[in-house]
A and B are shown apart, each in its own frame.
Chain A
Amino acid sequence: MFAFTVRRIAQGIFVMLVISFLCFTIQHQIGDPVRDIVGISVSTAEREALRDKMGLNDPFLTQYVRFLGKAVHGDVGMSFFFKKPALSVILAKAPATLELVFISSIIIIFVSIPLGIYCAINPRKILSRIIMGLSIVGVSIPVFLTAIILIYIFSVELHWLPSYGRGQLVQIGPWRTGLLTLDGWKHLILPSIALSSIMLPLFIRLIRSQMMEVLETDYIKFAWAKGLHRKRIWFVHAFKNTLLPVITVGGVQLGTMIAFTILTETVFQWQGLGFLFIEAVERADTTLLVAYLMVVGVIFVVVNTLVDIVYGLVNPMVRIQGSK
């Protein structure tokens, strides 16, 4: 296990280096941050002076080495727009995104598992067909459209739920949470439904097909022959083996989910990382962009490591192979 962890950390650092290098190579293509900082009628000389001061005129390698040197000490630079250290800007926004992803994941888990199992057990029932049909529709509607439709129905027409923002927040240490107030929960409902709408159909279909496959295997047939109760066969024996690929896909999809927070957060004016990222791209706030990509890189590496560990816990075969 220790060797595994060390290997993982080494891989992670390598991934970080590659990401930071890529960010630096593309940052000049993103645009000129100075343009956003000054008014349009400011003279070229003034802009050039500012660019010099910000170190944007130095050669690429000088900038990169300077960045790496500071990054080692946890300083990834100052956001041009927020005028604060980029990392602290990101950390301040992270709770919003994490809460959104967390609630969406819960929705996905608690909706997709029962529906998936139901469809696998009763593949021919009308309800199963309806669920499968809807899931096709769901997977093909882009998330921003879902989001706009939700806002239109529940905020503009029905006035049930708020249309934007996080609502009332409570500060607990560095974490600003919306989970402790009624208002915060109301604001969470639409964005988390919108975000989960992309993954939900995928997981229903995945669980269904996986479970149907498992139900055809010999050990399940043997369990039927043994006369076990059907609930035990479905929920204990079959379901456990259904989970394996679902966990793997889930880990990978979590990354996609973070990517989709960019769209969801933009539509709902949700003050999280995705929203921050889009804004940073528009303003060419390169320091913040690099920092964001680094943080997301860290999240990916950590999540994938965790998935591998969980996978080992669920599937003894992996564990045994790993310890050889």
Chain B
Amino acid sequence: MKKFLWFIVGVIIIAVIVVMVTQKKGEETATLGKTLKLAMDADPVSLDPHVQLSGGMLQYSHMVFDPLIRWTKDMQLEPRLATKWELIDENTMRFYLRQGVKFHSGNPLTAKDVKWTVERLKKSQDFKGLFEPFVGVNVIDDYTCDLVTKKPYSLVLSMATYIFPMDSVFYTGTDETGNPKDAIVKTGPSFALNHESGTGKYMVTKREQGVETVFEQFADYWDTASPGNVGKIILTPIKNDATRVAALLSGDVDFIMPVPPQDYERVATSENSQLIAMPGSRIITFQLNQNRRAEFKDARVRLAIVYAINNEGIVESIMKGTATAAGQQAPEGFAGYKATLTPRYDLEKAQALMKEAGYENGFTCSMIAPNNRYVNDEKIAEAVVSMLARINIKVNLQTMPKAQYWDQFDAQVADIQMIGWHPDTEDSANYSEFLVMCPNKETGYGQYNSGNYCNTKVDELVLASQPETDQVKRSAMLQEVEQILYDEAAYVPLHWENLSWAGKKNLNIEPIVNVMNFPYFGDMVIE
């Protein structure tokens, strides 16, 4: 028995040595450029960019695919696969494509791929809403195509940043299971789930969902002018905030996003790491349900609530300064932003308004908020409850995980409900379309308006802004919307969450990050 045990131990030791020796050899294979170890809170849910419309999937799309055009850091549009574009009539935008661009499969990029991609976008459950105003794409020649809308549309170019041409040849046909390769499948296996062919700088060379995704530089990438020198990206999802920060501080990874607010200072002051943060465009709000509570139909009560809540105090004490207090939906830089609409906090005024409305003694109502969706969501809700107590509104708060929250939200189970919103279109109108327009099942407007605020003037203005291609006029309309919402206290704005990234000192992070939170890793320089 003893001899046998020693034999086993011996075999294991030899096996370990053999494996270690062979592993060493494997490591020596060289890659183009430098390697970036990246840790994010989640990894792409699929390799198919059309399977989900989410920040994570768009970040992935910018690595593996390339859009026709994209936003720069200062919110200008810059050419990517389209070198130039022009409006040829009020419904048609012509794009001239870059020549000599190759997909990862080796196929050349042509206008046909753009047409194919837009058709697929119109079929995608998540994207079809955004592409509803479009008729489709007309191919003029191999490198010219027209993007046609049903009627004049102000956001044609914003939407073109979502068109990441896919390799139509590669995705056509059937896979070994007999299913079409272009199928968009959310819950089961599909060809596009595990295969990609884009024009982007990186190809996915290894993917184990939830564990690791390896991106390696595509040798025939068209953008040779970019200063980026990252040849390989190893993406590891690290969900736990503390672990993600520890991984950066211990040097196990080079770059993390997002950085939890409580660790901003620690990351910024560490000698090995740097922190970049900027105000984002996700607004955190509370909606006051007018159908459930007659009190909330009175604008004075809504105003009183807005005046009673100290946004700046919440930003300072709960968010530790990692958010920007808001008085309106869209942050600075957006079309609807109006500088005069600042956060309001005045307890005496709030009490006076309550008295004026006849609710001096207050009332009791209910509130729900998620506890793992937004940064510090639960604490924010608790703070708001105590602030409302000062104007004698007693709030019964219930918080729950996000997996349960949205059903409750839709069912409007509480009088006050929390919601955060980031516009998919990076445009002011999007907030209003989902959050404050009159709820309408047919058009889909007001889908997340659980306050049931309804003002026909707001609806008219937002709808009128859609076809308005004169940006100055459009901006005036959207600003008027914000003014009305402000005056009537249609909802309670709290703050815009900050975006944050952190990395080792030798990374040039600043130039590649932006307010959309799409870091352009292809342009990253590692010194």
**What is the interface of chain A, defined by CB distance below 8 A to chain B?**
29-33, 35-44, 46, 50, 53-54, 78, 80-84, 148, 151-152, 155-156, 159, 162-165, 168, 170, 180-182, 266-269, 271, 276, 279, 281-284
- CA–CA, A89 to B190, complex, Å? 17
CB-based A-B contact count at 8 angstroms: 142
Can you name the residue of chain B whose Cβ is closest to the Cβ of A266?
Answer: B240
Contacts of B52 in A (CB 8 A): 37-39
- Whole-angstrom distance between the Cβ of A271 and the nearest chain B Cβ: 5
Q: In the complex, which of the residues B16, B23, B128, B211 contacts A271, with contact meaning CB atoms closer than 8 Å?
A: B211
| B224 close to A (CB within 8 Å) | no
**Pairs A–B under 8 Å by Cβ, sample size 10:** A32-B404, A37-B186, A40-B448, A42-B53, A43-B129, A83-B185, A83-B190, A155-B252, A156-B250, A164-B243
Q: Are A39 and B186 in touch, CB under 8 angstroms? A: no
| B10 close to A (CB within 8 Å) | no
Which of B53, B193, B210 has most chain A Cβ within 10 Å?
A: B210
| B169 close to A (CB within 8 Å) | no
- Whole-angstrom distance between the Cβ of A3 and the nearest chain B Cβ: 30
B326-370 interface bits toward A, Cβ cutoff 8 Å, 1 = contact, 0 = none: 000000000000000000000000000000000000000000000
CB-CB contacts below 8 Å: B1-54 with A:
15-16, 19-20, 23, 45-46, 52-54
**What is the interface of chain B, defined by CB distance below 8 A to chain A?**
15-16, 19-20, 23, 45-46, 52-54, 125-126, 128-130, 185-190, 193, 209-211, 236-240, 242-243, 246-247, 249-252, 372, 401-407, 410, 424, 434, 441, 444, 447-448
- CA–CA, A202 to B22, complex, Å? 42
Can you name the residue of chain A whose Cβ is closest to the Cβ of B19?
Answer: A180
Q: Are A269 and B236 in touch, CB under 8 angstroms? A: yes
Contacts of B407 in A (CB 8 A): 31-32, 35
Q: Are B403 and A44 in touch, CB under 8 angstroms? A: no
Contacts of B372 in A (CB 8 A): 282
Q: In the complex, which of the residues A35, A36, A80, A151 contacts B243, with contact meaning CB atoms closer than 8 Å?
A: A151
Q: In the complex, which of the residues B20, B187, B404, B405 contacts A83, with contact meaning CB atoms closer than 8 Å?
A: B187
- CA–CA, A267 to B54, complex, Å? 25
- CA–CA, A290 to B403, complex, Å? 16
Contacts of B20 in A (CB 8 A): 180-182
- CA–CA, A152 to B270, complex, Å? 14
> Nearest 7 A-B pairs (CB), nearest first?
A31-B403, A39-B53, A155-B250, A284-B403, A31-B404, A39-B126, A180-B19
Can you name the residue of chain A whose Cβ is closest to the Cβ of B42?
Answer: A279
- CA–CA, A81 to B15, complex, Å? 36
Q: Are A78 and B238 in touch, CB under 8 angstroms? A: no
Q: Are B247 and A163 in touch, CB under 8 angstroms? A: yes
- Whole-angstrom distance between the Cβ of A217 and the nearest chain B Cβ: 30
Contacts of A181 in B (CB 8 A): 16, 19-20, 23
- CA–CA, A164 to B15, complex, Å? 25
Contacts of A78 in B (CB 8 A): 187-188
Q: Are A162 and B211 in touch, CB under 8 angstroms? A: no
